[in-house]
């Protein structure tokens, strides 16, 4: 995680959390402060076979809490929240976008007057200033590439895709036995 655009407090928290995450085989995905809450988001390295386990999050919470209590990098009172980014994760930094290349994402642009303020497509490239999406404008059109400046993005997140659609002509699963009113009607018809 890049600490150059972060506040000094959050940058210090990120530096304190990084070795703990590394020792647990995790990465610091994000550190943010919202009001009186410091949220530390940890993730598995890209390409890992699974996500962050609850046991790993519990252990990370204890270790991070102990380190922050010892170093006291946050002035005043705060609540520590240690979490994973989840399947539909927020994309805020260039590193977040670069990490999610190949996935479907949804963007909302800052320009409220734009007719195409919301964009969904497959992220095919990302660098420090732009994200390139492959977007299908309509069901009967070919996909086009759309380059968006990261500075123009209001919100962005990955989209969880449930998997492939059933194959055409595939057998449908056996239907359940009718219940209630429908069952009574069928029984009456068969008598």
Enumerate the domain spans of the chain: 8-83, 94-158
Question: For the chain, how many residues are written?
Answer: 191
- % pLDDT > 90, the chain: 63
The model's confidence at residue 117, banded by pLDDT at 50, 70 and 90, is confident
What confidence score (pLDDT) does residue 186 get? 57
Nearest to 63 by CA among 102, 109, 16, 99: 16
What confidence score (pLDDT) does residue 53 get? 93
Whether 94-158 and 8-83 are alike in CATH topology: the answer is: no
H runs (alpha helix) in 72-179: 94-99
Task: Name 6's Cβ contacts closer than 8 Å, sequence gap at least 6.
Answer: 14, 31
Q: Is the model more confident about 27 or about 4? A: 27
Q: Which CATH architecture has domain 8-83?
A: 2-Layer Sandwich (3.30)
Q: At the fourth CATH level, which superfamily is domain 94-158?
A: Ribosome maturation factor RimP, C-terminal domain (2.30.30.180)
| Whole-number Å distance between alpha carbons of 156 and 116 | 15
């Amino acid at each position: 995680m890049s600490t150059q655009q972060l506040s000094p407090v959050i940058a210090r928290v990120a530096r304190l959390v990084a070795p703990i995450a590394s020792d647990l085989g995790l990465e610091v995905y994000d550190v943010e402060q919202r009001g009186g809450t410091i949220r530390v988001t940890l993730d598995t390295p890209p390409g890992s076979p699974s996500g962050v386990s609850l046991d790993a999050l519990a252990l990370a919470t204890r270790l991070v809490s102990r380190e922050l209590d010892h170093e006291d990098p946050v002035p005043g009172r705060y609540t520590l929240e240690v979490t994973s980014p989840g399947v539909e994760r927020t994309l805020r930094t260039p590193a977040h976008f670069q990490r999610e290349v190949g996935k479907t994402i949804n963007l909302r642009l800052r320009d409220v007057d734009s007719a195409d303020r919301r964009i969904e497509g497959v992220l095919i490239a990302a660098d420090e200033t732009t994200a390139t999406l492959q977007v299908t404008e309509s069901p009967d059109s070919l996909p086009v590439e759309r380059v968006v400046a990261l500075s123009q993005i209001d919100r962005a997140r990955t989209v969880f895709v449930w998997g492939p659609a059933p194959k055409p002509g595939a057998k449908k699963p056996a239907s359940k036995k009718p219940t209630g009113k429908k069952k009574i009607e069928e029984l009456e018809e068969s008598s």
